[in-house]
Structure 1
């Protein structure tokens, strides 16, 4: 297989393929970057055309989609019959445009997103998202698994980028909530400050409950029906008041309680106090419900 681009991530991808026993050809715009890869058995070539010729599977990991086109356009004829897996970060628009161009050259295309840092590559606990040709994914999965757990999202090449941004939102929202909790409990722990490590042990177990809420709310969002059940928005708001007051008393000022209180207050004011927390999705969307 072939890897185009030997930045920190591209180099790590090539190492993972080599570790998994795959014959790997590598290329970089600046020559001589193979270093330890050559020692491990990688073949470094001077031209991108040589690298593409070496394998039916071409993994691209460059700085931008513009760079991807700069590399591939001059060698478009050599893409015929190959599978291009593009792990370069970009937007859904970039993904669709690149997919259309590659497919016009007679090649299969997968747009991918790496949901980890270089040190996580090769660990099956970490996801790599792929979208585009189902045939390309099915045919390449046995090789791509060397990078981490491969998840196929669908035929629209833009889906990997869309999921990427949505999952980053989940990550930052979760981490901000966790940091708020760390600051809050550290400011007023029984018998002195509670360490972040101690708090996180309990928080990790609590995440099982949070995941259960997500799974129960997802069908509500899909159906547009939000029965409140045992935990209505009005009850959520009362709990938020307690959190906001405690945060103020302890000097914890992330703005997070105020944000969720404002969002919840708008929903209740609109007559949705007996609905579930999932109702808030209608107020997060651009039309504001």
Structure 2
């Protein structure tokens, strides 16, 4: 569900941002640019200097930061940091809305929602799906989930950060989507570095190799859409037609990649992991199925 709202009717909503890494600073600048008074707090005070210069107000303590606004946005390393920082400010949480945009596990997001509720605060889990420089642009989007219905003014302020995509009431669902996106992202980055290292053994510089390799990353979407109007439909139906690329074919490629990396003296961890998915499917009699059959071994590892 798209919750993007027009924030012009709520231009003066005060917002607190706790955590001023690159993402926290980008969030603060976006809110300030839209006319919102923003109070900030960060363990390392020097990180506040740039946003203070842009108009933000620094709170002396976490409690003071919380008390400055009804809407409190957290951009921290993990959820443990939320407890460490707000543990001394629990008496100030009642009636506030906490929106935690930090990365952690779905279970910890659910625990945090219960913790916030125990102190009288509404809670929304969020996952920003773009790097800090893109926050606040048309290309930005943020997944949210949680049981509490947020006031329109809060939703309007959050919509400034990126198109809000509401996933449901489970506080862990937005975190799960965020981690799923990062699984694709981080695995792709590791693959890119593995491939760059492979070509580097032949003397090819990264500046020449990476533009070619990025083409492979860009082609993933085309591969997924090939032969299927809505990617994932066949997977949901338990169907794995092997007309285009079979487990056996992809498994043979995975064997070749591992052999190549081993012969080049490179770390085999990534190619070994990839190959294991295909071997599992072949060992269970699915060599003629589509490569998507490898999801069985991921769902039920041996």
Whether TM exceeds 0.5 here: the answer is yes
Q: Into which bin does the TM-score normalised by the smaller protein fall?
A: 0.7 to 0.9
SS in structure 2 of the partner of residue 271 of structure 1: coil
TM-score (structure 1 length as normaliser): 0.79
1:77 positional shift: 4.8
Q: Which has the higher contact order (CA 8 A, sep 6+)?
A: 2
Q: Which of these residues, 229, 240, 259, is aligned with residue 226 of structure 1?
A: 240
- The question of whether the paired residues in 1 share the 8 Å contact of 2:62 and 2:88 is answered with no
- The question of whether the paired residues in 2 share the 8 Å contact of 1:18 and 1:42 is answered with yes
Unaligned runs of 5+ in 1: none
Name the counterpart of 2:216.
203
- The question of whether the paired residues in 2 share the 8 Å contact of 1:182 and 1:199 is answered with no
Unaligned runs of 5+ in 2: 1-14
1:110 positional shift: 0.7
Answer yes or no: is 1:266 the counterpart of 2:274: no
Q: What CA distance in whole angstroms lies between the structure 1 residues aligned with 2:78 and 2:127?
A: 13
- The question of whether the paired residues in 1 share the 8 Å contact of 2:125 and 2:144 is answered with yes
CA RMSD of aligned residues (A): 3.5
Distance 1:18 1:185, change over 3 A: same
- The question of whether the paired residues in 2 share the 8 Å contact of 1:134 and 1:154 is answered with no
- The question of whether the paired residues in 2 share the 8 Å contact of 1:221 and 1:281 is answered with no
TM-score (structure 2 length as normaliser): 0.76
1:63-142 equivalence runs, <5 A: 63-133=77-147, 135-136=149-150, 140-142=154-156
More helix by share: 1
Q: Which of these residues, 13, 18, 26, is aligned with residue 32 of structure 2?
A: 18
Aligned length: 286
SS in structure 2 of the partner of residue 46 of structure 1: coil
1:215 positional shift: 7.9
| 1:23-75 deviation per Cα after TM superposition (whole angstroms, max 9, x unaligned) | 21223456676323233222223343443333221112345534423544554
- The question of whether the paired residues in 1 share the 8 Å contact of 2:245 and 2:290 is answered with yes
SS in structure 2 of the partner of residue 35 of structure 1: helix
1:199 positional shift: 0.8
SS in structure 2 of the partner of residue 272 of structure 1: coil
| 1:164-211 deviation per Cα after TM superposition (whole angstroms, max 9, x unaligned) | 33322212221233333334456669xx87912441453254233234
SS in structure 2 of the partner of residue 136 of structure 1: coil
| 1:216-243 deviation per Cα after TM superposition (whole angstroms, max 9, x unaligned) | 6623433333232332222323444454
